[in-house]
Structure 1
Amino acid sequence: MPLQAQAEEEKPEGFVEGASLDVLARNFYVNRNQLLPGVRDNREWGQGFIGRFESGFTQGSVGFGLDAYAMLGLKLDGGGGTAGSSILPINSPGKEGYDYGKAPDDFSSAGASIKVRAFDTVLRAGDLFLSNPVIAGGESRMLPQTFRGFSLTNNSIDNLMLEAGQASFTKPYNQSGHRRIDTFYGSLADDRDSRHLNWAGAAWTPLEGLSSNLYASELKDIWNQYYFDLDYTWQLDDLVSLNPGLHYYHTQDTGDALLGHIDNNTYSLHFTVTVGYHAITAVYQRVNGNTPFDYINQGDSVFLDNSQIYSDFNGPNERSWKLKYDYDFAGVGVPGLTTSVSYSKGELDLTKVDPAGTGYGHWYSEDGKNARHWERDLDLAYTVQESTLKDLTLRLRWAAHRGSQGYSAVDNDVDEYRVIVEYPVNIF
């Protein structure tokens, strides 16, 4: 069918008629018990509110709209010396400068983006919520991360979504203002930030149960990053399914190479067997390269199967394994209650890291020839199914991480607890 005919059949809903306003109240507590002598513990508790307005599109062959958001974070606990878990800003200005470890009482931000729709293509420009394998805003803390730039999405072909865009600034999840985009693990001089990140990609679902993504990005003067995944769920019968999958990243330095030489190939393989309300997953993950697999700071663009609560198991030359068990308590008459427990183990070689490297020299460890670490994770969540509190979710998360002597320069030994309560409200 011609695109013009498709556009005529899709009667736009209208700017006001298609508008929505949602508010998410998120209460977040983190207690990170640092087990290494001399390292301070992190304990923070906050209440966040995220309001998102999305308009419809105006009538006509070209429609216009507006999206906007406002966020507020309130400190409930996080006094001097205990902040630093990234729930709240890490410090606040005082009469004599900055008091490291004392979070401010509140922080907030707001933004908006305009959007234009023509046929099956939508352009957005302004403050964006992004989620794809090469640039995904962090959602694992009290408030989400946003980016400032523009994006294009197209859905002209059935089962195929195309997108591209550019982002120049980010608002981290524990700050009010914007800053240049940087990376999670690389160390850059203050005056040598990347100017922007460009990306393009496609998401394809050709068959029921089969999906694939292909993406490419350029973090200006730092890296070119490429991503591919393939995931298939084979439903054997009403109770049993098999789910193999692959995630693969290739990262290569580019331009001025502000983080130095990068030539990194990282992949993970998973295989899940689901029987009724039970699921068991086995994972193998591998990093080939003398730098860690790196991604956008505070973001969630680490689409790897062994990215856990505390560690991503993505160090230089790292091999890791995971075994995970999931259970849905609907099987015993408690719908909405789910749990998962997992154990991950990794081994890496930190002696091959260039100690004088521009961005990753701090990963070098003389004792890191056969560095090892492991992590145990437990996740328990309940979502209210009925009553006035319908959709309220309580989540309890626990992680224990331990590493060998050669690994201690990378991550600490910790026991971490998180309590998260979320309540979504649709205003209209």
Structure 2
Amino acid sequence: MKPALTFTPLFLAIAATISPLAHAADAPPTDGFVEGSSLTINTRNYYMNRDRRDIHTDDSKEWGQGFLGVFESGYTQGTVGFGLDAHAMLGLKLDGGGGTDGSSILPYGSGNGKAPGSFSTGGGTLKVRAFDTELKAGDLFLNNPVIAGGMTRMLPETFRGVSLTNHSLDGWMFEGGQASFAKLYNQSGHGRIGTSYGALPKGQDSQHMNWAGVAWSGLPGLTSNLYASELKDVWNQYYYDLDYTYALNDLVSLNPGLHFYHTQDTGHALLGDIDNNTYSLHFTVGVGNHSVTAAYQRVNGNTPFDYIAQGDSVYLDNSQQYSDFNGPNERSWKLKYAYDFAGLGVPGLTSAVSYISGKTDLTKVDPNSRGYSAWYSAEGKNAKHWERDIDLKYVVQGGKAKDLAVRLQWATNRGSNGYSAVDRDVDEYRVIVDYPINVF
């Protein structure tokens, strides 16, 4: 049995820098607890039609209306300021699904397979600010490369734990934290934090996740992030990225970038042996309102690249609408074209078309691997799949409907030679309508 680790060395090194930096600046001005408060409400109407072509399920449509209200207070006066954030979510079933489609719009049904007519949740966060350091404890909206809730479904995922953020140095952001529970996109209650692709043994859960990170944007057009995390008794995960945008002139820009993850099993290794290096490279050429991106992604390891359940903490170029192209030893290419219709006098209208192709040898996956055996296929010697995505979005620019956004998404995924066990033959359509309301 491998010795359990509480924190990775990199986690300790980064976290140790946060406290001293808190004294590097004077206390920032504050508007006060009440004066600095805000309340926003986002309404999201979400329709998803996922047609699984290989198994032809009848109930693959879900349609719902979501409401997310977020209150954020200011801070009390003084060197150390205190505040309170709160949120409430409500999801209404409009039609179909029952959760049997697995699209994460509506809750999974009970014995009758039907989703409830509504589901809701709420949460609060206590926060403390001293100098340029902010501590939060409670229900958190997180968004970083190793733990992110995101907004790709009707309602977001939230995490219960603590976080610490520091902005003392210009161009730098330091953060760290621990989360023990997660509220999934389509659920009201919380459960232990888990993974997206790995199947943990029954009755054995990871107790918490620790993370620490540094984000840097010290030069124009250049950004970089370095993160470390530990999902207790499952994995240590490290992330690095580098992204640079260079303007050749007023019309042409170049944007190369790199994302890299290393994942290694730790502690009791509840998902078995993991030794995975996954990276993606992209290069984008922008010409006026046009842009073309080429990307290459590679998974090195006999397990898939995995991340936190239902989250968006997969900062890889070929993570698409349906597939993440993250299978064991998978290699994938992407070509993407995007156009901003402001060039034709229609500001707010944007579009993108992508094509991605991936291949791997699934016979190299250990069929007895704990947690990832579903990826094994004796027929997967030359497993291939591809995905085609079309994305069209319009945001109203003015008037009473200002900021109303309508988004249409289409995805087609086709797999062969064993890939259907995970990445099925699917045609997927989404219609998403957002209307944010700033109450105060």
Q: Could you say which TM-score interval applies, normalised by the shorter chain? A: over 0.9
1:328 is matched with: 340
Over 3 Å counting, the alpha-carbon distance change for 1:252 and 1:40 in structure 2 is: farther
Residue 310 in 1 paired to residue 322 in 2? yes
Equivalent position SS for 2:362? coil
Which of 81, 84, 90 aligns to 1:63? It is: 81
Report how far residue 410 of structure 1 moved: 1.7
Report how far residue 38 of structure 1 moved: 5.1
Distance in 2 between the 1:182 and 1:157 partners?
34
Report how far residue 13 of structure 1 moved: 1.2
Distance in 2 between the 1:112 and 1:260 partners?
36
Equivalent position SS for 1:331? helix
Alignment of 1:264-413 (within 5 A): 264-413=276-425
1:15 is matched with: 33
Distance in 2 between the 1:150 and 1:67 partners?
13
Residues 347-400 of structure 1: CA deviation (Å, up to 9, x unaligned): 011111111111111110001111000000000000000110000000000000
Alignment of 1:27-42 (within 5 A): 27-37=45-55, 39-42=57-60
Which of 65, 68, 89 aligns to 1:47? It is: 65
| Counterpart code for 2:406 | L
Over 3 Å counting, the alpha-carbon distance change for 1:114 and 1:369 in structure 2 is: same
Report how far residue 4 of structure 1 moved: 6.4
Return 5+ residue gaps in structure 1 as ranges: 93-97
Residues 260-318 of structure 1: CA deviation (Å, up to 9, x unaligned): 00000000000000000000000000000000000000000000000000000000000
Over 3 Å counting, the alpha-carbon distance change for 1:4 and 1:217 in structure 2 is: closer
Residues 13-41 of structure 1: CA deviation (Å, up to 9, x unaligned): 10001000000000000001110135445
Over 3 Å counting, the alpha-carbon distance change for 1:355 and 1:26 in structure 2 is: same
| Counterpart code for 2:222 | L
Distance in 2 between the 1:109 and 1:147 partners?
13
Equivalent position SS for 2:175? strand
Equivalent position SS for 2:254? strand
Distance in 1 between the 2:52 and 2:323 partners?
14
Equivalent position SS for 2:26? helix
Distance in 2 between the 1:3 and 1:55 partners?
21
Report how far residue 79 of structure 1 moved: 5.2
Distance in 2 between the 1:83 and 1:359 partners?
22
TM-score under structure 1 normalisation? 0.96
135-144 vs 242-251, which moves further: 135-144
Distance in 1 between the 2:272 and 2:201 partners?
12
| Counterpart code for 1:255 | G
1:138 is matched with: 150
- Say if 2:145 and 2:315, in contact at 8 Å, map to a contact too: yes
Over 3 Å counting, the alpha-carbon distance change for 1:335 and 1:56 in structure 2 is: same
1:99 is matched with: 112
Equivalent position SS for 1:403? strand
Count of matched residue pairs: 420
2:17 is matched with: none
Report how far residue 190 of structure 1 moved: 2.8
Alignment of 1:247-266 (within 5 A): 247-266=259-278
1:78 is matched with: 96
Distance in 2 between the 1:190 and 1:210 partners?
45
Equivalent position SS for 1:141? coil
Residues 334-359 of structure 1: CA deviation (Å, up to 9, x unaligned): 00000000000000111111111111
Distance in 1 between the 2:68 and 2:435 partners?
11
Which of 179, 195, 200 aligns to 1:183? It is: 195
| Counterpart code for 1:333 | G
- Say if 1:382 and 1:394, in contact at 8 Å, map to a contact too: yes
Residues 13-70 of structure 1: CA deviation (Å, up to 9, x unaligned): 1000100000000000000111013544510000000000000110000000001000
| Counterpart code for 1:135 | I
- Say if 1:384 and 1:391, in contact at 8 Å, map to a contact too: yes
Over 3 Å counting, the alpha-carbon distance change for 1:42 and 1:299 in structure 2 is: same
394-403 vs 351-360, which moves further: 351-360
Distance in 1 between the 2:245 and 2:186 partners?
37
1:89 is matched with: 107
70-79 vs 256-265, which moves further: 70-79
Over 3 Å counting, the alpha-carbon distance change for 1:418 and 1:404 in structure 2 is: same
Cα RMSD (Å): 1.3
Equivalent position SS for 1:270? strand
1:163 is matched with: 175
Distance in 2 between the 1:30 and 1:135 partners?
25
Q: Identity of counterpart residues, as a percentage?
A: 70
- Say if 2:206 and 2:234, in contact at 8 Å, map to a contact too: yes
Equivalent position SS for 2:91? strand
